[in-house]
Structure 1
Amino acid sequence: MTQHFLSTEPPLAISLRRSARARRISLRVSRLDGRVTLTVPKGVSEREAMAFAREKQAWLLAQQSKIQAVVPIGFGQQLPIAGRVRAIVPSEGRKTVLGVDTIAVPGQPEQVNARLKAFLKELARNRLSEAVEFYGARLGRSHTRLTLRDTRSRWGSCSSAGALMFSWRLVMAPAGVLDYVAAHEVAHLAEMNHSDRFWNTVERIHGPYDGQRKWLREQGQELHRYSFEA
């Protein structure tokens, strides 16, 4: 993958990626950070590819303008947890405390992001473990392992060995959304596909799920706006 720039102000970076499977030139703008990827089939020159990108310059800038700014984590910021927005405030004690409208974090300001991230991951593990056990009992199947990651391309996965993986950021979504994703991956323990039988299984162990799926499609990427980096 090589990087090029369009003559905008500031210059717009474009990552050019060659693909043997691509049949035409295509542009993609990441909804997470606005990064632009230009996919090019074999036999197409970089000059031709960049000419295509320049023709789409107005569209590219319009798409990037829709990308919402990253929210750095720290005192005074707000963060959704279980779908409810909480203010991040200093804690008078030694533990992180989740309140109705606040989350109190101990330590110095420069420690807040790391401590809050650790708290959210532990909370996510507890809630996902409970949900997985619940839906697993309904299905009559057991998983072999549960791991958490900060994935951007998927909210969860299930391996053929019964290992489940989830994005810990699900703990920031409404509780019903976390439950749906848990049920979705548990259903894969019985159906390793997305056939009608699979979706019937999801509905059998979870109930109606259209609202939760819609929330993930329309608002899920918002959860990646929150940066816990130092």
Structure 2
Amino acid sequence: MTAHMDTLSDRWARLEPFTAVVGPDDDRPRPTALLFHGCGGLRGHLPMYAAAAKAAGWRAVIVDSYAPRGWSRQFAMATVCTGLMLRGHERAGDILATIRGVSARPDVDASKLVLAGWSHGGWGIMEAMSADRSLPSLGVADPGAVSLDGVQATYLAYPYVGVAALNRMRPWKHCPKTLAVISAKDHLTTVRNAERIHAMVRNCGAEVETWVADGTHSFDEPMTALPMRYDPDLTQEAIRRFVALLEDAAVAPPLA
């Protein structure tokens, strides 16, 4: 007996109740950023990016991949952060399902989406961009049942590109404009390894900008769990660059 595999619509039905939509208080179809947390789960920094997107006239959708699965932060730290569960290719199923679900909202311009992922979330986005979606994969039965045409850009914040990311050198099939944030003091990758991977992505025709931030992994997360250390100045610069990427990707309707 094979285990039941979610369709994209099944997966979105599970994720949607735990999804926060932030944006201007109107029902105009606006360009929308989809935000995917790191392996430590939903933390205080994603709402800062969502607020910045809102101020720029965008909507932002913050997706919690753990609550729908009944996982606590402690459980995720012990399993996902250690690579035992929910590898990047499986997380990609959440990303595709979110694109499909959010694209159906009347207050979202589905032709103007940006995917943003932090660490494990960035890994998931990279898997979604590079996978062969003609077969059941990425933890879902129908990964090809959503178009990526509306994805205009990706924001990859210190994405996980270490040894467990087996497909990290697999070329992307969808090649949007990308801003990759590399942490100079990242304990999970060297700058050289990260640069090599982002150069490979550039080969598919994507415009890939890399910014080497002089901080640790998760430098924009307001906590310190050594070797990771919060840097408020770098965080403000990261948010500024995130908003600049949004504004490069699409023009939002003016705020009322």
Range of TM-score over shorter length: under 0.3
More strand by share: 1
* TM-score of the aligned structures, taking structure 2 as reference length: 0.24
| TM score, norm. by length of structure 1 | 0.26
